[in-house]
Amino acid sequence: MIVVEALQDWPNVLSINDGSGPPESLNSTFTCWIGEKMIKHELLQRVIDKLKENSESAKQNLATAKQAVIDAPGAMQSHSDTTRWQMSRRVEAIENTISETLRALNALELLMRAPPTVTKCSSYAVIEAQNLDDGTRAKYFLLPAGGGSKYEVDGEEITVLTVGAPMARAFMGASAGDEVELKIQGTTRRFSVIAVA
């Protein structure tokens, strides 16, 4: 009989005991799956927190910009009436940024509630890749929004890539062992996908 039991220190990780002695060491595939799931969850929460922070900052900028429109000289007070128009364009740009950020937050919060199963490079995948030109390795987390930031988790640096970014598009659909090429401004960079989780 095989007994699967939760560990006291970490109830989400199971040990396996076939009854012939003490429990075996953890199943590495299962442990890896739990570990990657926790890393993704932590990273996703950090990206969401950063977007919320950016949204709050943009809302403060919006209030300041709206007041600047009110305070800007009008046509009767100035030879040029473009100041108020320019300020109102800035307000529109900030409002668009806030709207885009809220859409991104909604998409990321949906991923947090219902994470997809990842088998290939796709949204919500953590990819380890080796640059075949210089031998360096890096990890990337593909998300629908919030790219461009680097985070450290368990001593490893992971870069968040938005799925629409050129580098993320180069990885899309690839599996562990595949090679991909990224062409930017006449320069080709080659990568080998080491792992996808």
Per-residue tokens: 193: 């996908």
Question: What is the residue-wise DSSP string for 11-76?
Answer: TTSEEEE-SSSSPPPPPHHHHHHHHHHHHHHHHHHHHHHHHHHHHHHHHHHHHHHHHHHHHS--TT
pLDDT of residue 36: 65
Note the maximum CA span of the chain: 92
Q: pLDDT class for 87, splitting at 50, 70, 90? A: confident
pTM of the predicted model as reported, rounded to 2 decimal places: 0.69
Q: pLDDT class for 17, splitting at 50, 70, 90? A: very low
pLDDT of residue 176: 92
Q: pLDDT class for 140, splitting at 50, 70, 90? A: very high
Inter-axis angle of helices 82-113 and 28-71, nearest 10: 160
Higher pLDDT, 177 or 114: 177
- Give 137's strand partners: 130
pLDDT value at 20 more than 80: no
Quick: pLDDT tens for 60-85.
999 998 888 888 777 666 666 677 88
